[in-house]
Amino acid sequence: MLESQHFSRKVLPRSPRREPLVTTDNLRYDQAPDRRENILSRLRAAGFLSVSALAEDLGVSDMTIRRDLRRLASDGEVRIVHGGASLPHPTLRTSEFVSRARAHAEEKRMIAHRAVELIGPSDTIAIDAGTTTYDVVHELPDEFSGCVVSHSVPVLQALLARPEPRVVGLGGDLFRSSQAFVGPLTESAAAGLRVRVFFLGAAGVDEKGVYVEADIERPTKLALIEAADVVVLLADRSKFEHPATVRLCGLEQLDRVITDQEPPERIRQALATAGVDVTSS
CATH number at residue 273: 3.40.50.1360
d(CA 147, CA 137): 12
Highest mean pLDDT among 22-31, 52-61, 88-97, 246-255: 246-255
Residue 126 and residue 108 share a domain = yes
Question: pLDDT tens digits, residue range 32-79?
Answer: 888 998 898 888 766 678 899 999 989 999 999 999 999 998 888 888
Q: Which domain holds residue 248?
A: 95-280
Those residues with Cβ within 8 angstroms of residue 68's Cβ, 6 or more apart along the chain or in another chain: 32, 35, 36, 39
Residues 37 and 174 in one domain: no
Average pLDDT over residues 143-151: 96
Q: Are residues 102 and 165 in the same domain?
A: yes
Residues 228 and 234: beta-carbon distance below 8 Å: no
**Confidence category of residue 82, pLDDT binned at 50, 70, 90:** confident
- 121 & 245 share domain: yes
Q: In a 10 Å sphere around its CB, with 0-12 CB exposed, 13-18 middle and 19+ buried, how is residue 190 labelled?
A: buried
Number of structural domains the chain divides into: 2
Look at phi and psi of residue 39 and say left if phi exceeds 0, alpha if psi is from -120 to 50, else beta.
alpha
Strands (E), the chain: 48-50, 79-81, 84-86, 124-127, 147-150, 166-169, 173-175, 180-182, 195-200, 204-206, 209-212, 228-234, 246-249, 256-259, 277-280
Q: Is residue 167 part of a domain?
A: yes
**Distance from C-alpha of 236 to C-alpha of 70, rounded to nearest angstrom:** 19
pLDDT at 51: 92
pLDDT at 2: 43
Does the pLDDT at position 10 exceed 80?
A: no
